[in-house]
Amino acid sequence: MTGFARGRRLRSTPALRRLTAQTRLAPADFVLPVFVKQGIDAPVPISAMPGVVQHTLDSLRKAAHEAAEAGIGGLILFGIPGEKDAVGSQADAADGIVNVALQQLRADLGDELVLMADLCLCEYTDHGHCGVVTPARGGVRGQGGGMVVDNDPTLDRYAAVAVAQAQAGAHLIAPSGMMDGQVAAIRRALDGAAHTETPILAYAAKYASGFYGPFREAAEGAPQFGDRSTYQMDPPNADEALREVAQDIAEGADAVMVKPALPYLDIVARVAGAVHVPVAAYQVSGEYAMVEAAAANGWVDRERAILETLTAIRRAGAGTVLTYWAVEAARLLARA
């Protein structure tokens, strides 16, 4: 037979496949989420996320050096304070765990890695919600005893936290609370405190997802009543993601994020096609846990699955991937 296209021609050797690969992974694309907890003297393993720990300040510094050595793009920090309260005071306390960690890492590493600060209150509040809560009013029923997460008072808290994190040494602020107007409030606060050069990576399209399950153990921020579905996006919606992204960019976001990643690749692709700012995707704890669990059972080839998921997320259009495999994937690529 002759005369028809043979897709197989360009697949026949590793060298041909490498030459024609449309998507390439590089360590610099990856950002490693890390957890640092106050009041522990050794790292605490996360049972639902084999290989991931809650760090002490010291073990975090060591992990950060390893991350820099592996050549990844950055770290994103989550803090677990010793004490929680209604407004998450430890999030912006200068001696709060996350701010101390940022200070130390910045002193250790300078500008070698991008130090990102996740900005949210859920790890710091005793009720586990991402903002301050008040009794429902105006015909809204609320959750758990009639309470609601109150948007606008939360913005004042986010503004204070952003300034504290920038002051502590964060190179970039990443608000993940899904309050309306959060990017504008944070931009205004940063500019007002002379942090005009600190960029914002907005968790713009963040869905109310079941795939955050294992993270609740890692960050100890499970809501004590209700859930996050009044502020995070509803999984059936796609157009709304584009609206959220456009609004965040209009408010001053320098880059935008879609989260989770793998179950939302359609959203990643649509966002990447619609905007001209960098697009990141967060491969979340449940995505990590699924592959680890399947691999532990011998049901998938672990390393192959890791690189395939990362490739898929990049192929969909994300330039940056937040992933718990960041350092390992960088090492796998160096070996390949």
**Site residues (CB under 6 A) for ligand PBG?**
118, 120, 122, 130, 176-177, 212, 215, 228, 284-285
Q: Which two tokens stand for residue 143?
A: 């959750």
Residue 215 Cβ vs ligand PBG, minimum distance, rounded to whole Å: 3
Side chain identity at 56, as an amino acid letter? T
DSSP string covering 53-87, please? EEEPHHHHHHHHHHHHHHT-SEEEEEEE-S--BTT
Neighbours of 16 (CB within 10 A): 12
Residue 177 Cβ vs ligand PBG, minimum distance, rounded to whole Å: 6
Q: Is 259 a catalytic residue?
A: yes
Closer by beta carbon to ligand PBG, 120 or else 280: 120
Q: How far from each other are the two terminal CA atoms of the chain, in whole angstroms?
A: 37
Residue 135 Cβ vs ligand PBG, minimum distance, rounded to whole Å: 23
Closer by beta carbon to ligand PBG, 55 or else 228: 228
Closer by beta carbon to ligand PBG, 99 or else 209: 209
For residues 305 and 315, give the distance between their C-alpha atoms in angstroms, rounded to a whole number. Answer: 15
Closer by beta carbon to ligand PBG, 284 or else 330: 284
Q: Which residue is nearest to ligand PBG (CB)?
A: 215
For residues 66 and 43, give the distance between their C-alpha atoms in angstroms, rounded to a whole number. Answer: 16
Q: Is 62 a catalytic residue?
A: no
130 neighbors 118 (Cβ within 8 angstroms): no
Residue 218 Cβ vs ligand PBG, minimum distance, rounded to whole Å: 7
Active site residues: 206, 259
